[in-house]
Each structure stands twice: as structure tokens, then as C-alpha cells.
């Protein structure tokens, strides 16, 4: 069964600290993996997208890693800011006959405190 | 400004009263999709469209209809809403489906009493 599991469910950190969010997936055959940021009450916004051959992708203070062998990804946030408080969603796409299937994780809720 | 718009943003309705949530994008994207988001669950795909007049079911299509008569518009229709369709709905678009980043609308919060 194609699944995307994220951990932790929620996380509280102090402003300026770093954190790492995890994503494990059982999606097959793998096409690509994306990380989105979703502010409360708003639509998700793309942070990174990685294909099978990529193992690191950065977007400012956000760095995503991908280990396609172990089917794990992480999102590392450096020097967190209050505006980083949001849900972070891992999304994996799988190839299928006639197109692709996209599976969303439930997200990690990050709270950054002053 | 490139964007995906949805209307209405908030809607409270009663069981059985037909409603339509509109979605429009101004980026000339071929691929559009509808999702619902419920607490504790990831976004689940309702329907998607690869191009004009081409639509297909996602993971949770029951109780919903869509149409794609124009490239820019992809309305979501609930013919007879029920309380279990109370949810937060998102429309998204992308240039294509493969390896393309999706751009999400602001969301429509629907309550069915």
C-alpha cells in the first residue's frame, strides 16, 4: 500500500534553533518527492522537489534530503524564524498506468517560539 | 499576478442543497486538481484533469462532480451535500502532472449542516 508517514506530528522549537522533520514512504514506483509549507488557513506552497537521482535540494534556509534506497526524506530548517511556524507536508508521486498518483503525508506542525 | 482563485472561501449550507465551488487559474496550466483536507489526514485527491474535457477520479470522488470546459476553470460540484463532506477544499494547478510543482488556491471551508 502506498503510504507517506511524517514525524513528529508536532514540534516546538525556540527561534534561532535548527530542526529536522522526517518523512518515510512506501510509495512505488517512485517518481518524485516534494516538501510543501502550509500556513494556517492557506494553501500549501512548494519548498523543494526531488527526483530519484537527487539526494539534496536547498531553498534558502530549507534543505531537503532524499535516500531513495531507504525511502526516507528529511527537511532541515536552519536558524528558525517565527514565520516558519506552519505545517510541513511531504508529498510523494508514484508512476502508474496512464499517469501518476500523488500521496500526501499528514504533515508536521511546527511551532517556533520567541 | 499568477494565481489560483477559489470561490467562495467560506460556505455554510444544508444537507441536499446543490452547490458549486469555482476554481480558476491564470497560468495557462494544463493540469488541475481538487483536494479535501481533514484534521489528522493528509490532503486527499477528489478529481483531477489533465486538460480540457479530460477528467478522472482521484482517491475520494464519491459525492462530487467536476467539469473542465475551459482550460482556466475547474469547478467542483456537490449535487447533494452531506455532513461528511464538511471539509477544507483546495484547488491546485500545474503545467503538467509529471514532476511539476502544484500551485494551490487559498482554500474553501465548507460546512454542511
Over residues B8-31, the pLDDT tens digits come to 999 999 999 999 999 999 999 999
Residue A98: per-residue pLDDT: 65
What residues of B are in contact with residue A34 (Cβ under 8 Å)? 101
Distance in angstroms (rounded) separating the CA atoms of residues B59 and A106: 15
> Is residue A45 within 8 angstroms of chain B, CB to CB?
yes
What residues of B are in contact with residue A100 (Cβ under 8 Å)? 97-98
Shortest Cα–Cα distance, A81 to chain B (Å): 23
Tell me the average pLDDT across B82-93.
Answer: 96
Tell me the average pLDDT across A67-92.
Answer: 96
Inter-chain CB proximity A31 and B106 less than 8 Å: no
B58 closest CA partner among B91, B88, B83: B91
Beta strands in chain B (DSSP E): 4-7, 10-13, 19-25, 31-37, 44-51, 54-57, 65-66, 76-78, 87-94, 103-104, 108-112
Mean pLDDT of chain A: 92
Mean pLDDT of chain B: 93
Where does the pLDDT of residue A88 fall: very low under 50, low under 70, confident under 90, or very high at 90 and above?
Answer: very high
Question: Is residue A14 over pLDDT 70?
Answer: yes
Tell me the average pLDDT across A70-95.
Answer: 95
Distance in angstroms (rounded) separating the CA atoms of residues B39 and A8: 16
Of B42, B44, B106, the CB nearest to A107: B42
Tell me the average pLDDT across B73-97.
Answer: 94
pLDDT in tens, B61-81: 999 999 999 999 999 999 999
Residue B64: per-residue pLDDT: 98
Q: Which residue has the higher pLDDT, B96 or A36?
A: A36
> Is residue B90 within 8 angstroms of chain A, CB to CB?
yes
Residue A28: per-residue pLDDT: 84
Question: Is residue A99 over pLDDT 70?
Answer: no
Of B42, B90, B101, the CB nearest to A43: B90
> Is residue A79 within 8 angstroms of chain B, CB to CB?
no
B92 closest CA partner among A3, A65, A5, A38: A38
> Is residue A37 within 8 angstroms of chain B, CB to CB?
no
Amino acid at each position: 500500500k502506498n503510504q507517506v508517514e511524517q514525524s513528529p506530528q508536532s514540534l516546538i522549537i525556540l527561534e534561532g534553533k535548527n530542526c529536522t522533520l522526517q518523512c518515510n514512504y512506501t510509495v512505488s514506483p517512485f517518481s518524485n518527492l516534494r516538501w510543501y509549507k502550509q500556513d494556517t488557513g492557506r494553501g500549501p506552497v512548494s519548498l523543494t522537489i526531488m527526483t530519484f537521482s537527487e539526494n539534496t535540494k536547498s531553498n534558502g534556509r530549507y534543505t531537503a534530503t532524499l535516500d531513495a534506497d531507504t525511502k526516507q526524506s528529511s527537511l532541515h530548517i536552519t536558524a528558525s524564524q517565527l514565520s516558519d511556524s506552519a505545517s510541513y507536508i511531504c508529498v510523494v508521486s508514484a508512476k502508474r498506468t496512464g499517469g501518476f498518483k500523488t500521496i500526501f503525508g499528514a504533515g508536521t506542525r511546527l511551532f517556533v517560539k520567541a | 499576478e499568477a494565481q489560483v482563485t477559489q470561490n467562495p472561501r467560506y460556505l455554510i449550507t444544508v444537507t441536499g442543497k446543490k452547490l458549486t465551488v469555482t476554481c480558476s487559474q491564470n497560468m495557462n496550466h494544463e493540469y488541475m486538481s481538487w483536494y479535501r483536507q481533514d484534521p489528522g489526514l493528509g490532503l486527499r485527491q477528489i478529481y483531477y484533469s489533465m486538460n480540457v474535457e479530460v477528467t478522472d477520479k482521484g482517491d475520494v470522488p464519491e459525492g462530487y462532480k467536476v467539469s473542465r470546459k475551459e482550460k482556466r476553470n475547474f469547478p467542483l460540484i456537490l449535487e447533494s451535500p452531506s455532513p461528511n463532506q464538511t471539509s477544507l477544499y483546495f484547488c491546485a494547478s500545474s503545467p503538467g502532472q509529471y514532476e511539476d510543482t502544484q500551485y494551490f488556491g487559498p482554500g474553501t471551508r465548507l460546512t454542511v449542516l
